[in-house]
Amino acid sequence: MKHAIRALGVVLLAMGLAAAAGAQDSAKYHTYAEMTARLQNLAKTQPQLVKLESIGKTRQNRDLWALQIASPGGVPAGERPALLIAADFDGDHLIGSELALFAAEHLVKNAAKPEVKARLDAFTFYLMPRVNPDAAEFMWAPLRWARRTNTTPYDDDNDGRVDEDGPEDLNKDGVITVMRVKDPNGAYIVDPEDKRVMRRADPKKGERGEYALYSEGIDNDGDGFINEDGPGGVSINRNFMHEYPFYKPEAGRYMVSEAETKAVLAWLVKHRNVAAILAFGENDNLITPPGAQGRYGAARTLDLNSFADASIAGASKTGMISAGGLAALFGRGRGGGGGGEEMISEEMIQMLMASGGGPGGPGGRPSGASASGGRSRMPARNPATVVNTADVDYFRQVGAKYAELTKIRTAPVLSKPEGAFFQVGYFQFGVPSFSTPGWGLPEAPRGQGGPGTGAAGAPGAGGPPAGAGPGGGQMNASAMPGMMAQRGGAGTGPAGAGEGEATAIDKAMIQWLDKEKIDGFAAWTAVKHPDLGDVEIGGFKPYLTVNPPAAKIDELGPAHAEFALYLTSLFPKVGVAKLEAVAQGGGLYRVKAEVENSGFWPTAMAHAVSARAVRPTMVQLQVAPETILSGNSKTSFIQSLAGSGGRQKYDWLIKAKAGDPLTLKVVSQKGGADEASVTLK
Amino acid sequence: MKKRIAFIGWALFALLAVLPQSGLTQKFSDPPFKVKLDFNRWHDTNELYADMRKVAAAFPKFVTISSIGKSADGRDILLATINNPETGPEASKAAMYIEANVHGNEIQGGEICLYTVWYLMENYGRLEPITRLVNERVFYLVPTINPDGRQYFLEGPGNNARSGHVPFDDDNDGLFDEDGPNDLNGNGIIEQIRKYVPGKGNYRISKTNPRVMEAVGFGETGDYIMLGQEGIDDDGDGRINEDDLGGYDGNRNYPTDWQPNYVQSGSLDYPTQLPEARAEIEFLDAHPNIAGVQSYHNNGGMILRGPGAEAMGEYPWSDTRAYDELGKNGERILPFYSYIVLWSGLYTVHGGFIDFTNDGLGMLSFSNELWNGEQYFTSPELKEQQKDPASPIAPQKSRYFFDDKLEFGDQFVEWKPFKHPAYGDVELGGSWKKTTSRVPPRFMLEELCHRNMAFTLYQADELPMIKMGVPEVQKMDGGLYRIFLEVSNPKVTPTILEKAAQNNVVRPDLLTLEGKSVEVVSAGILDNKESYKIRPTITSLIDQKNLKRILLRNGTPGKTTRTFLYLVKGSGEVTFKYDSLKGGQASQTVKLK
């Protein structure tokens, strides 16, 4: 019976239907309207506990919902340490949305249970279950492809035409997959072990490429590339500023260009009480916690899709021509030499310049620059990109608990966390910040999953060849790219350099789909293509490799809700541990105090201290400043107070009268506030 | 009385004389300008905006005033657009974007913007180069991108006006901007505080200059102690002036190479966070016809270009060639200014405006640091004299000399007694006013405006401009035609910066061919048509599928003529069109015969 429900869920998902999967109302993927209704219902039925706020609008005018769950009364919700759960920055990651919704409903449903009530009394939970709703909605579109991007018009290949070459469903199965074409210039072969899998031919093993791979569709704009400029847009999980992938696909025109990104950041700036972040998405630091050096695990990609993506890498370089006229400048070309077009690359020019062959560049600093003079050059500083080694153990501990609660051991598809939201949480806002895809594959079979196996290495995976990155000045004279003859894909640039960390998981994914009886891989079938002739269309079906069957939600939901509650148990908690005043005679009092962090995490992570990202804990004696004669000053700050009972001592000599009340206040941005009073005797 | 009427008559006559269509000749030795403005004083935001509107009202055909957004305090960010509608809509012409004053205290760029609008309009029809510039180009001017900071700087004491007005908690106590300096004596200046303690102090009045306080040497005592900046403990936390207004840097909030606050101080919590930056970014992104940018700052006498940080790498050579040409001529237009690369010549800037406009938007961008202190004493003789420590204009004394003899004590604030609420009898003073040092003396403002405008107009004139020669058709065997098509950009600036092409941030130039019954067999590019004709070589093929719409991703470089060589079949008319977002359009039609 359970099997039957699960199977039904799979079928419904595969068909893209939005109908509820039987009696289990939560075991389904919710459209935006359905999700909104659920959130509004929570706020309506529990108005004291739940507040629903729109933090912004998308291009298609959808509200971006933020839910606040906190017990009424006591410390205002905005001043309690808080956990933010946010999901669906990658528009196709719908499972994250469901897990966030599940967590919200779980908290509300169990609000009366003592262990939950204690958390709701002390802390605030914020939930943003769907941050990229415009993109997510395409899961229910009649034609589906793995779309992560919102609907911002975007000229992906920068050819002056926007969104003009999207995919076509040539085999009429309702999804966009991959085309393989027999091509002597192709770089790929069929894997002999599993005929569904394509891999790169290895000339060192005597293998000869037989196939070229493309995304399913036709060349709408006649530029020689297929599906190089589909509708939209920007993936919100590539639009944040940490390790932002400048000028790369799906990243947007510039950092924080999108309304969704801006709305989340503006909200975050106003909610400094957020003490930890749990993001659901196609990044992970929970299933595989950071290593001892603070590095996160490698990306995990489907080679088949990367290979097809690589077929359009040249589209955004068409029309780069050598700098004509330079030949003349260097005394060649005009009536002399070989005549015609002289090809001079940037590198050659740089070399000529370095040897003094060209006109002079700008001078150094003027000796006479007066008022702004005297400012010395600062040594170059770089932002942190790995978890501070002093913080790593905290992350690993959380990872261990995550594994214990969820039993997830192996991540599914993961992208590089470039411009990802969760990275901003730790690296810019200084709080422990976690990301998980929220579900997993079984343990990787032998020979799979390790870097460098078989088809792994995936040159070109995760975007354009490395040469397109910022600072890559190597666009040279020969950059008039080939057209259809794209040498089977990633042959157009020095791909792979620096991108070798990606692990291909095609086989593991197919095995999981088989085992779970999910129709997630379209068998290769012959189709006549208008330009390419005989092709076969097949491959991974969109959404099904990123989201597990809906029936799994009921299994994954409680574990993640538990995990969210666990995270709040780690929050720092400051308090006045001791306050005493002893009369010294003559109206003088010696005041001694100790403040303590009785929580688990420090009031600021080590990175937060070095990045000055978390406000120091403030300790303030509530007296007029001039009454303090010696000792500490009225206001002191602690950069970070260790958890598990870390203490700091204070000592003042003040002038006061017997009977005066004396109050000490301690305020921590992430660990709450406390105050204690004594009456002077 | 009679005299006055006569004067008015003359003025009217003169007015008619300067109208280009009037045909009357100039009767005065000097043009009687239509709008009277003052360039010997500083304008706060309200005055600046009012003057901008005055010019716009006088020249409504050309000047449009609008707002690109609101500042943190709700002021409009005013934009003046200069466009001659008779020579085409804005988007069809290369535009120069000029902005100023992102740091609230760096005010003089605002006056330059006002001067520029005024000068272009008053001299349109009078001076040929100005008339041509206004006809050929579009000018967008934002006289202050930080109107709050400017107003604050000019209407009050002006301390910490570099920042904008988004509240910022400098001292981490949960309160925002709650304890800045206080103008206790109400004279509009934040002064220093000193207290007279005869024989018990650690400061004394300098023997060589009675207006300078100096710390005493080892084993000595003085008659004064110094008590910091004028202010009180507003928030009662035991500290004075520890949380002044704002506390960030508006020019570190742009989304190219933005870095968090611990790497780049003042960058705020995320790029584009400031409403002013966001408004400007969205305006620029929506105006891809902008090819050149000038962002006025102060001071030091510099013509700065990016990159702002070493790690960003030097610009491609074909870009620095254009920058160098403009920058070197800038040094000739602007004595005491040096053409400098930002990171290597000044300091590292992450998330700066001109890095965004160059790398992120493909606009050739300069930032002038206005006014150089060397301009106080300019002649070589005086410079020589300054080397002598005994000279009244030796470096330690020169500013006092200048203030005494040329500004008549306008800038230095002498010590005066004051009763401080906490410190008792003290003296306030010993400070320079905000209108000195970083800005020129008022009487030198107009020259600063004119010279910097001249440099920026030179840049505007050297923005790309596409020209197309008459296509040369040669009939060949088999119904084939060979067409030589010359396309040139006679200006210094390329139609697309190489950096922009690498980053793919500017739409490629498009070379299209229209002809009902014409088919393109091949197309290639020649460096020089004449040498090809004498000695044909094998040309490179343009490897694009659609040769009727050729993409030129890195455009046409500056000072370059290229020949496109088409091989076509068919008959009838052929129209070539070159369309560049930043270099304008050009087209030619020929008949195949």
Residues B495, B422 share a domain: no
Name chain B contacts of A255, Cβ cutoff 8 Å: 255-256, 258, 270-272
CA distance B59 to chain A (A): 36
Q: Is residue B565 part of a domain?
A: yes
Is A346's pLDDT higher than 50?
Answer: no
Residues B183, B97 share a domain: no
- CATH number assigned to the domain comprising residue A625: 2.60.40.10
- B207-221: per-residue pLDDT in tens? 888 888 999 999 999
Q: What is the mean pLDDT of chain A?
A: 84
Cβ neighbours of residue A390 closer than 8 Å, sequence gap 6 or more: A605, A606
Name chain A contacts of B299, Cβ cutoff 8 Å: 370-372
Question: A221 pLDDT band (50/70/90 cuts)?
Answer: very high
Question: B31 pLDDT band (50/70/90 cuts)?
Answer: confident
Residues A252, A237 share a domain: yes
- Bridge-partner residues for A375, per DSSP? none
Q: Of B466 and A353, which is predicted with more confidence?
A: B466
A321 with B554: CB under 8 angstroms? yes
Q: Is residue B387 part of a domain?
A: no
- A288-343: per-residue pLDDT in tens? 999 999 999 999 999 999 999 999 999 999 999 865 443 333 333 333 333 333 34
Which pLDDT value is given to residue B16?
Answer: 47
- CATH number assigned to the domain comprising residue B479: 2.60.40
Separation of alpha carbons A407 and B169, rounded Å: 44
Given A537, A570, A603, the domain boundary residue is A570
Mean pLDDT of A350-372: 42
| Nearest residue in B to A616, CA atom | B172
Please identify among residues 218-237 of chain B the ones whose CB lies closer than 8 Å to any CB of chain A: 233, 236-237
Residues A139, A263 share a domain: yes
Separation of alpha carbons A70 and A121, rounded Å: 6
Copy the structure tokens of residue A599.
């929580």
Q: Is residue A321 part of a domain?
A: no
Name chain B contacts of A326, Cβ cutoff 8 Å: 318, 557
Which pLDDT value is given to residue A378?
Answer: 56
Q: How many domains does chain A have?
A: 3
**Closest C-alpha among B220, B313, B391 to residue A246:** B313
Mean pLDDT of B459-471: 98
Residues B547, B412 share a domain: no
Q: How many domains does chain B have?
A: 3
Please identify among residues 534-553 of chain B the ones whose CB lies closer than 8 Å to any CB of chain A: 535, 537-540, 542-546, 550-553
Mean pLDDT of B468-477: 96
Q: Is residue A345 part of a domain?
A: no
Residues B278, B201 share a domain: no
Mean pLDDT of B418-426: 93
Q: Is residue B279 part of a domain?
A: yes
Mean pLDDT of A180-186: 97
Q: Is residue A362 part of a domain?
A: no
Which pLDDT value is given to residue B161?
Answer: 79
Per the CB < 8 Å rule, is A372 touching B299?
Answer: yes
Residues A270, A281 share a domain: yes
Cβ–Cβ pairs < 8 A, chains A and B: 284
B340 touches chain A (CB under 8 A): yes
- B385-409: per-residue pLDDT in tens? 999 999 999 998 999 999 999 999 9
Of A222, A247, A269, the CB nearest to B504: A247
Is A621's pLDDT higher than 80?
Answer: yes
Which pLDDT value is given to residue A492?
Answer: 32
Mean pLDDT of B214-239: 91
The DSSP call for residue B90 is G
Given A491, A512, A547, the domain boundary residue is A547
Separation of alpha carbons B580 and A198, rounded Å: 43
- Bridge-partner residues for B472, per DSSP? B484
- A638-669: per-residue pLDDT in tens? 999 999 999 999 999 999 999 999 999 999 99
Residues A627, A535 share a domain: no
| Nearest residue in B to A615, CA atom | B172
Name chain A contacts of B346, Cβ cutoff 8 Å: 365, 372, 375
Q: Is residue A338 part of a domain?
A: no
Is A17's pLDDT higher than 80?
Answer: no
Is A562's pLDDT higher than 70?
Answer: yes
- B104-146: per-residue pLDDT in tens? 999 999 999 999 999 999 999 999 999 999 999 999 999 999 9
Which pLDDT value is given to residue B156?
Answer: 85
Q: How many CB atoms lie under 10 A from the CB of residue B495?
A: 31
Question: A37 pLDDT band (50/70/90 cuts)?
Answer: very high
Which pLDDT value is given to residue B10?
Answer: 52
Residues A502, A560 share a domain: no
Is A493's pLDDT higher than 60?
Answer: no
Is B355's pLDDT higher than 80?
Answer: yes
Q: Mutation test of the interface with chain A: which of B264, B317, B363, B510, choosing the one with the most A Cβ atoms within 10 A?
A: B317
Of B258, B339, B532, the CB nearest to A340: B532
Which pLDDT value is given to residue B445?
Answer: 98
Is B19's pLDDT higher than 80?
Answer: no
Please identify among residues 292-331 of chain B the ones whose CB lies closer than 8 Å to any CB of chain A: 299-302, 305, 309-313, 316-318, 320-321, 323-325, 327-328
CA distance A337 to chain B (A): 10
**Closest C-alpha among B261, B29, B279, B1 to residue B144:** B279
Is A185's pLDDT higher than 60?
Answer: yes
Q: Is residue B3 part of a domain?
A: no
Which pLDDT value is given to residue A490?
Answer: 34
Per the CB < 8 Å rule, is B526 touching A254?
Answer: no
Which pLDDT value is given to residue B463?
Answer: 98
Residues A199, A237 share a domain: no
Strands B584-592 and A646-655: unpaired
- CATH number assigned to the domain comprising residue A560: 3.40.630.10
Q: Is residue A657 part of a domain?
A: yes
Which pLDDT value is given to residue A15?
Answer: 41
**Closest C-alpha among A112, A115, A141, A104 to residue A16:** A141
Name chain A contacts of B238, Cβ cutoff 8 Å: 625, 628, 633-635
The three state secondary structure string of A476-521 is CCCCCCCCCCCCCCHHHCCCCCCCCCCEECHHHHHHHHHHCCCCCE
**Closest C-alpha among B273, B289, B292 to residue B281:** B273
A145 with A167: CB under 8 angstroms? yes
Per the CB < 8 Å rule, is A159 touching B356?
Answer: no
Please identify among residues 98-127 of chain B the ones whose CB lies closer than 8 Å to any CB of chain A: none
Residues B302, B181 share a domain: no
Question: B343 pLDDT band (50/70/90 cuts)?
Answer: very high
Q: Is residue A495 part of a domain?
A: yes
Residues A561, A423 share a domain: yes
Residues B202, B294 share a domain: no
| Nearest residue in B to A427, CA atom | B260
pLDDT above 90 coverage of chain B, percent? 81
Is B559's pLDDT higher than 90?
Answer: yes
Residues A243, A217 share a domain: no
Residues B133, B75 share a domain: yes
Per the CB < 8 Å rule, is A155 touching B347?
Answer: no
Which pLDDT value is given to residue B27?
Answer: 64
Mean pLDDT of B363-389: 96
DSSP per-residue letters across A579-623: EEEEEEETTEEEEEEEEEE-SSS-SS-HHHHHTT-SPPEEEEE-S
Residues B295, B361 share a domain: yes
- A420-461: per-residue pLDDT in tens? 999 999 999 999 999 999 999 987 644 433 333 333 333 333
Residues B199, B253 share a domain: no
CA distance B513 to chain A (A): 16
Quote the domain boundaries for residue B229: 169-244+407-432
Name chain B contacts of A354, Cβ cutoff 8 Å: none
Q: Is residue B585 part of a domain?
A: yes
Is A26's pLDDT higher than 80?
Answer: no
Which pLDDT value is given to residue A400?
Answer: 98
Question: A501 pLDDT band (50/70/90 cuts)?
Answer: low
Question: A513 pLDDT band (50/70/90 cuts)?
Answer: very high
Q: Is residue A578 part of a domain?
A: yes
Copy the structure tokens of residue A17.
């239907």
Residues A243, A97 share a domain: yes
Residues B448, B488 share a domain: no
Q: Is residue B365 part of a domain?
A: yes
Name chain B contacts of A350, Cβ cutoff 8 Å: 317
Per the CB < 8 Å rule, is A224 touching B545?
Answer: yes
- CATH number assigned to the domain comprising residue B125: 3.40.630.10
Per the CB < 8 Å rule, is B236 touching A625?
Answer: yes
B373 touches chain A (CB under 8 A): yes
Q: Is residue B516 part of a domain?
A: yes
B559 touches chain A (CB under 8 A): yes
Residues B427, B448 share a domain: no
CA distance B68 to chain A (A): 17
| Nearest residue in B to A225, CA atom | B545
Of B259, B501, B527, the CB nearest to A341: B527
Using the CB atoms, write b or e for A435-460: b if 16+ within 10 Å: bbbbbbbeebeeebbeeeebbbbbbb
B530 touches chain A (CB under 8 A): yes
Please identify among residues 258-287 of chain B the ones whose CB lies closer than 8 Å to any CB of chain A: 258-263, 269-273, 278, 281, 285
CA distance A246 to chain B (A): 8
Q: Of A384 and B164, which is predicted with more confidence?
A: A384
Separation of alpha carbons A49 and B282, rounded Å: 39
Per the CB < 8 Å rule, is B545 touching A325?
Answer: no
Mean pLDDT of A166-181: 97
Is B489's pLDDT higher than 70?
Answer: yes
Of B262, B344, B561, the CB nearest to A610: B262
Residues A252, A107 share a domain: yes
Which pLDDT value is given to residue B163?
Answer: 79
Which pLDDT value is given to residue A339?
Answer: 33
Task: Provide the 3-class DSSP secondary structure of residue B3.
Answer: helix
Quote the domain boundaries for residue A501: 155-231+291-316+383-389+455-467+481-547
Separation of alpha carbons A156 and A336, rounded Å: 41
Q: Is residue B126 part of a domain?
A: yes
Residues B264, B238 share a domain: no
**Closest C-alpha among A551, A440, A564, A563 to residue A26:** A551
Residues A35, A168 share a domain: no
Is B55's pLDDT higher than 60?
Answer: yes
Residues A72, A85 share a domain: yes
Per the CB < 8 Å rule, is B321 touching A358?
Answer: yes
Per the CB < 8 Å rule, is B356 touching A316?
Answer: no
Copy the structure tokens of residue A177.
């997959």
